[in-house]
Chain A
Amino acid sequence: MATDRKAEVTWNGDLMSGSGRIDSVTSGALGSLDIDWRARSEDAESKTSPEELIAAAHAACVSMALSHALAQAGHPADELKTSATVTFQPGEGITKVALAINGKVPGIDDAAFQEAAQTAKENCPVSKALASVPEISLDARLQS
C-alpha cells in the first residue's frame, strides 16, 4: 500500500531577501519552521533548510533499515545512534552525504555489523532516492 506524506511551504518575496516557512506537515509533528536563502547557504542561525531535512530523513531511514537488518541476522540492536551530514554546493547541488553509525548490538561481531550497516545504507528507501548523489560514505562503529 502506498503511503503519502505532505508538507506545505509559503514564501514571500525574492530569493535573496525574501523568506519562507514550512507551515505544516501531514503528521503535525513539525512546523512552522522558518527558512531563508541566507540561512540555507551561509550560517544557519538556528534555521532549518532542505539539506538539514534531507539529513534527518536519511539518518532516520538508515537507522530503521539497520535495526531491521540486525534483527534478521539474529542480533537485534539495543541502540543505534546515526548522523547524516549533507554537503550542499550552491549552484551545483548536494555533493555528499556522510553517514556515521554507532551501534550497541549484543553478541554480534564487527564483520557482521559492517555487513548489516552496508546493507542498510544501500537499501533504505531514502538511500535509493538519493542514489544520484556523487558520494555517500559510511562510518559504522560497534560499541563494545
Chain B
Amino acid sequence: MPRVQREATVTWEGNVARGSGAISGATGAFSELPYSLATRVEKPDGKTSPEELLAAAHAGCYAMSLAGELSREGSPPEHLDVRATVTLDQVEDGSHRIVASALLARARVIGIEQRAFEEIASRANEGCTFSKLIDASGTVTVNATLEGETDGD
C-alpha cells in the first residue's frame, strides 16, 4: 500500500505563559482550534490540547484496528464504542510527559465468545500503530468488554 501523508499547521503568538495558538488540519476537518498552556494543564475551558488530539487519534486508531481484527476473524462488529484517556503528568526531573493512554472499548459483535474477543482486543492493541508508539514511552491499557448478543434486530 502506498505511503500516506497527513499534515497539520499551528500558529502561535507570544510567550508560553500568556500566548496562545490555533491548530488546523490540512483536510479541513478541523481548523483554527485555539489552545494555550493554561487550558492544556489546567481546566480545558472549551479548548483542545495536544493530549486531547492524541486521545482522539488513539481512540480512532484502536477502533479501526479492532474492527479490522474482528473482520479478519469473520466476526465484523455491529458497533464499537471506544474511549481513550491520555494522561500528561510531571515526572521526576520536573518535565511533563505523556505517561499513559487508557483504552476502554465496548463491542457489539454477533457470534463471538468473551475469551476469543479478549484475545482479539489485545491483538488489536498490538496492531494499532499509535498504541505501539505510546507503549514505548508510557503505558497503554486496554479494557474491552463484549455486549450481550443482540436478538437479531
Interface residues of A (CB under 8 A from B): 1-16, 18, 20, 22, 25-31, 33-35, 37, 40-42, 44-61, 63-68, 70-71, 76-91, 93-95, 123, 125-126, 128-133
Contacts and interface: CB of A to CB of B under 8 A. Distances in A.
Interface of B: 1, 3-17, 19, 21, 23-30, 33-35, 37, 39-42, 44-64, 66-68, 70-71, 76-90, 95-99, 129-130, 132-134, 136-138
A20 B25 CA distance: 18
B47 A29 contact: yes
B12 A83 contact: no
A51 B67 CA distance: 18
Given A20-B64, A33-B30, A79-B12, A51 B50 contact: no
Contacts of A132: 132-133, 136-137
A3 B133 contact: no
A60 B10 contact: yes
B9 A83 contact: yes
Of B10, B41, B44, B80, most buried by chain A (CB within 10 Å of CB) is B10
A8 B49 contact: no
Grouping DSSP codes into helix (H, G, I), strand (E, B) and loop, the B interface class, with mixed when no group exceeds half, is mixed
B137 to A, nearest CB: 5
Contacts of A41: 1, 4
A55 B33 CA distance: 14
Contact of A80 (B4, B12, B90, B98): B12
Contacts, number: 329
A130 to B, nearest CB: 6
B4 A8 contact: no
20 contacts: A20-B63, A25-B52, A25-B55, A27-B52, A46-B27, A50-B129, A59-B10, A60-B49, A60-B53, A61-B50, A77-B13, A82-B11, A85-B7, A89-B4, A91-B1, A93-B132, A125-B95, A125-B96, A129-B137, A132-B133
Contact of A22 (B56, B86, B97, B98): B56
A30 B33 contact: yes
Given A12-B78, A30-B33, A50-B58, A64 B98 contact: no
Contacts of A94: 129-130, 133
B4 A4 contact: no
Of A64, A80, A94, most buried by chain B (CB within 10 Å of CB) is A64
Given A48-B30, A88-B5, A67 B12 contact: yes
A65 B50 CA distance: 12
A29 B39 CA distance: 12
